[in-house]
Protein backbone atom coordinates (compact mmCIF):
# COMPACT_ATOMS: atom_id res chain seq x y z
CA UNK A 1 0.00 0.00 0.00
CA UNK A 2 1.01 3.61 -0.47
CA UNK A 3 -0.54 7.06 -0.30
CA UNK A 4 -1.63 8.10 -3.80
CA UNK A 5 -2.60 11.75 -3.35
CA UNK A 6 -3.89 14.47 -1.05
CA UNK A 7 -6.83 16.56 -2.24
CA UNK A 8 -7.38 20.28 -1.64
CA UNK A 9 -10.39 22.28 -2.80
CA UNK A 10 -9.32 25.52 -4.46
CA UNK A 11 -11.23 28.61 -5.54
CA UNK A 12 -9.12 29.64 -8.55
CA UNK A 13 -7.57 26.63 -10.27
CA UNK A 14 -5.17 28.50 -12.54
CA UNK A 15 -3.88 30.64 -9.66
CA UNK A 16 -3.33 27.51 -7.56
CA UNK A 17 -1.64 25.61 -10.39
CA UNK A 18 0.66 28.60 -10.91
CA UNK A 19 1.55 28.65 -7.20
CA UNK A 20 2.37 24.96 -7.00
CA UNK A 21 4.28 24.88 -10.30
CA UNK A 22 5.97 28.30 -10.50
CA UNK A 23 6.63 28.87 -6.80
CA UNK A 24 6.96 25.36 -5.34
CA UNK A 25 8.37 23.71 -8.46
CA UNK A 26 5.78 20.97 -8.94
CA UNK A 27 4.76 19.72 -12.36
CA UNK A 28 1.17 19.60 -13.63
CA UNK A 29 0.77 15.87 -14.19
CA UNK A 30 -2.78 15.81 -15.55
CA UNK A 31 -6.02 17.75 -15.50
CA UNK A 32 -9.58 16.89 -16.48
CA UNK A 33 -12.86 18.80 -16.60
CA UNK A 34 -16.08 17.09 -15.51
CA UNK A 35 -18.78 19.31 -17.08
CA UNK A 36 -21.72 17.22 -15.82
CA UNK A 37 -20.43 17.56 -12.26
CA UNK A 38 -19.21 21.13 -12.80
CA UNK A 39 -15.72 20.53 -11.43
CA UNK A 40 -12.12 20.12 -12.59
CA UNK A 41 -9.40 17.92 -11.12
CA UNK A 42 -5.71 18.75 -11.53
CA UNK A 43 -2.93 16.51 -10.25
CA UNK A 44 0.50 17.96 -9.47
CA UNK A 45 3.69 16.54 -8.06
CA UNK A 46 7.44 16.10 -8.17
CA UNK A 47 7.42 12.97 -10.30
CA UNK A 48 5.28 10.31 -11.95
CA UNK A 49 2.19 9.32 -9.99
CA UNK A 50 3.23 5.68 -10.32
CA UNK A 51 6.29 6.48 -8.20
CA UNK A 52 5.39 9.56 -6.12
CA UNK A 53 2.50 10.93 -4.10
CA UNK A 54 0.53 13.63 -5.91
CA UNK A 55 -1.45 16.68 -4.87
CA UNK A 56 -4.99 16.78 -6.27
CA UNK A 57 -6.53 20.22 -6.67
CA UNK A 58 -10.31 20.16 -6.98
CA UNK A 59 -12.04 23.19 -8.43
CA UNK A 60 -15.81 23.19 -8.03
CA UNK A 61 -16.94 25.65 -10.69
CA UNK A 62 -19.80 27.14 -8.68
CA UNK A 63 -17.91 27.60 -5.38
CA UNK A 64 -15.84 30.70 -4.74
CA UNK A 65 -15.07 30.26 -1.03
CA UNK A 66 -14.29 27.47 1.44
CA UNK A 67 -13.88 27.33 5.20
CA UNK A 68 -10.48 25.81 5.94
CA UNK A 69 -11.56 24.50 9.32
CA UNK A 70 -9.34 24.04 12.33
CA UNK A 71 -8.50 20.35 11.89
CA UNK A 72 -6.32 20.82 8.82
CA UNK A 73 -2.61 21.03 9.55
CA UNK A 74 -0.26 21.30 6.59
CA UNK A 75 1.41 19.59 3.68
CA UNK A 76 5.12 18.92 4.26
CA UNK A 77 7.69 19.26 1.47
CA UNK A 78 11.36 18.39 1.86
CA UNK A 79 13.73 20.94 0.32
CA UNK A 80 17.53 20.94 0.06
CA UNK A 81 17.90 24.24 1.91
CA UNK A 82 14.97 25.77 3.79
CA UNK A 83 16.58 29.21 3.96
CA UNK A 84 17.21 29.33 0.20
CA UNK A 85 13.75 27.91 -0.54
CA UNK A 86 12.13 30.73 1.47
CA UNK A 87 14.13 33.38 -0.38
CA UNK A 88 13.19 31.85 -3.75
CA UNK A 89 9.51 31.63 -2.77
CA UNK A 90 9.45 35.27 -1.64
CA UNK A 91 11.24 36.36 -4.83
CA UNK A 92 8.48 34.68 -6.87
CA UNK A 93 5.73 36.39 -4.87
CA UNK A 94 4.94 33.58 -2.43
CA UNK A 95 3.99 34.27 1.18
CA UNK A 96 6.34 32.95 3.87
CA UNK A 97 4.41 33.01 7.15
CA UNK A 98 7.10 31.45 9.34
CA UNK A 99 10.68 32.20 8.34
CA UNK A 100 13.24 29.42 8.11
CA UNK A 101 14.80 28.40 11.40
CA UNK A 102 14.97 25.65 13.98
CA UNK A 103 11.74 24.17 15.28
CA UNK A 104 11.06 25.04 18.91
CA UNK A 105 12.74 22.48 21.19
CA UNK A 106 14.50 20.86 18.20
CA UNK A 107 17.28 21.25 15.67
CA UNK A 108 15.02 20.53 12.69
CA UNK A 109 15.04 23.49 10.30
CA UNK A 110 11.62 24.36 8.93
CA UNK A 111 9.49 27.15 7.54
CA UNK A 112 5.86 27.65 6.55
CA UNK A 113 4.39 29.20 3.43
CA UNK A 114 0.74 29.80 2.57
CA UNK A 115 -0.85 28.88 -0.76
CA UNK A 116 -3.39 31.17 -2.50
CA UNK A 117 -6.33 29.59 -0.64
CA UNK A 118 -4.64 29.81 2.76
CA UNK A 119 -3.43 26.22 3.03
CA UNK A 120 -0.21 25.86 4.98
CA UNK A 121 2.84 24.23 3.42
CA UNK A 122 5.72 23.20 5.69
CA UNK A 123 9.21 23.22 4.23
CA UNK A 124 11.61 20.83 5.95
CA UNK A 125 15.34 20.26 5.72
CA UNK A 126 16.36 16.79 4.53
CA UNK A 127 18.34 15.91 7.67
CA UNK A 128 15.68 16.05 10.33
CA UNK A 129 16.85 15.06 13.80
CA UNK A 130 13.37 14.67 15.33
Point out the residues that are catalytic: 122
φ/ψ of 16, rounded to 5, equals -70, -40
Q: In what order do the strands lie in the sheet with 95-102?
A: 75-78, 120-124, 109-114, 95-102
Amino acid sequence: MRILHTMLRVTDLQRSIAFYTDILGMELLRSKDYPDGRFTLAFLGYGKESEHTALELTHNWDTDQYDLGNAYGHIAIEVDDVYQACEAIKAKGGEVVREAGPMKHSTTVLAFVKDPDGYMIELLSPHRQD
